Amino acid sequence: MKAIVYTQYGIPEVLQLKEVAKPIPKQNEILIRVRATAVNSGDVRLRKADPFAVRFFFGLMNPKTPILGSVFSGEIEQVGSSVTLFKVGDPIFGHTDMSFGTYANYKCFPENGSIALKPINITHQEAAVIPFGGVAALHFLKKASLQQGQKVLIFGASGSVGTAAVQLAKHFGAIVTGVCSTANIDLVQSLGADKVIDYTKEDFTKNGETYDVIFDTVNKIVISNSVKSLTINGKLILSAAGISEIFQGVWVSMTNSKKIKVLTGVISHTAEDIHFLKELIEVGQLKPVIDRTYSLEQIEEAHTYVEKGHKKGNVSITLQSL
Ligand SMILES: NC(=O)c1ccc[n+]([C@@H]2O[C@H](COP(=O)([O-])OP(=O)(O)OC[C@H]3O[C@@H](n4cnc5c(N)ncnc54)[C@H](OP(=O)(O)O)[C@@H]3O)[C@@H](O)[C@H]2O)c1
């Protein structure tokens, strides 16, 4: 099968199209023919080993996981002898969690992995872009126990996590303010935001508004200023926090007088979350946002674009029929 393989960390050119062995499913596994995947910010971080700590988990000198790609949509081509949840031909989408490997024609999954039947009303390209931002946004909004009627500010509302967070927060009944640049105002409004702030013109920490939850999806807020814009018992979500922001978050949680809780950490993926997102898509409450689509052969170009940090929603990758 064809796959995009990388054997060293570095620039997009380390991603090479190669012929590799097609995987064989174990007893409890399904073999998926991948129709579409996506290039996410997480793939870029792994390709570059940025931050350096990536190397402690994914290979100190060279990557131990040679095929990137954490999301997919496709069809089941083969099932292991003990598989009961799915059958050959089922259209399916999901997230690999830490195993990666969807920049390839085929990928094996345990049947109880973070997978679900593909929503019936969207394409493979659209389904493949949902699990990365969708599960991250869902995880943190649940962790913040977002309640109906609460005010939430989503910073970085035009990215993969941000576009999902705006829609999910609306689904949970919150009053949503999205923060993005001028070019993305229409997009964020179209996703249901009640108010949009253009970060190139206005600093949300200076307009006197307060929020029950502030969700920074892109690690760009000034934490000390943002805390002032939270209500008593407010929640500050720092989903893209690096080490320094994690320490700042711990400090804020320990010392602030408003009992503010700071939420960080690496998420894990569950089939339950993927099912939840599928159902929301099928009732029209969650829409995939695709900025650009590339072929597997154009993966270098796709990585170069995503690395710039200004994509609108997601970048999907289409795999040719074999
Ligand atoms: N904790 C976890 O387990 C977890 C899970 C998933 C993702 N993440 C992390 O979350 C981060 C975001 O992921 P993502 O995929 O959503 O990012 P992304 O899609 O690459 O973000 C792109 C968006 O960020 C916006 N942006 C850039 N600079 C901005 C600024 N100064 N202010 C406001 N918006 C700005 C851009 O809008 P403009 O062009 O308008 O600037 C663009 O629409 C990544 O670092 C990723 O690693 C963490």
pLDDT at position 157, please?
98
Q: How far is the CA of 156 from the centre of ligand 1 (A)?
A: 6
Identify the H or E element spanning 314.
strand 314-318
Phi and psi based region of residue 208 (left: phi greater than 0; alpha: psi -120 to 50; beta: remaining)? left
**Are the C-beta atoms of residues 41 and 306 closer than 8 Å to each other?**
yes
pLDDT at position 116, please?
98
Nearest CA to ligand 1 atom 38: 310
Spans of all domains in the chain: 2-129+288-318, 132-263
Question: Cβ(160) to ligand 1 under 6 A?
Answer: yes
Q: Which one, of 285, 47, 266, 5, lies nearest residue 143 by Cα?
A: 266
> Which atom of ligand 1 is nearest to 41's Cα?
15
Q: How far apart are the C-alpha atoms of 153 and 149, rounded to whole Å?
A: 13
Q: Tell me the residue type at 219.
A: N
Question: Cβ(180) to ligand 1 under 6 A?
Answer: yes
Which architecture does CATH list for 2-129+288-318?
Alpha-Beta Complex (3.90)
Residue whose CB lies within 8 A of the most ligand 1 atoms, among 135, 218, 312, for a mutation test:
218
pLDDT tens readout for residues 57-68 = 999 999 999 999
pLDDT tens readout for residues 139-166 = 999 999 999 999 999 999 999 999 999 9
Q: How far is the CA of 149 from the centre of ligand 1 (A)?
A: 26
Show pLDDT as tens, one digit a residue, over the chain (322 residues): 999 999 999 999 999 999 999 999 999 999 999 999 999 999 999 999 999 999 999 999 999 999 999 999 999 999 999 999 999 999 999 999 999 999 999 999 999 999 999 999 999 999 999 999 999 999 999 999 999 999 999 999 999 999 999 999 999 999 999 999 999 999 999 999 999 999 999 999 999 999 999 999 999 999 999 999 999 999 999 999 999 999 999 999 999 899 999 999 999 999 999 999 999 999 999 999 999 999 999 999 999 999 999 999 999 999 986 5
Residue whose CB lies within 8 A of the most ligand 1 atoms, among 39, 40, 41, 47, for a mutation test:
41
- CATH code of domain 132-263: 3.40.50.720
Question: Cβ(124) to ligand 1 under 6 A?
Answer: no
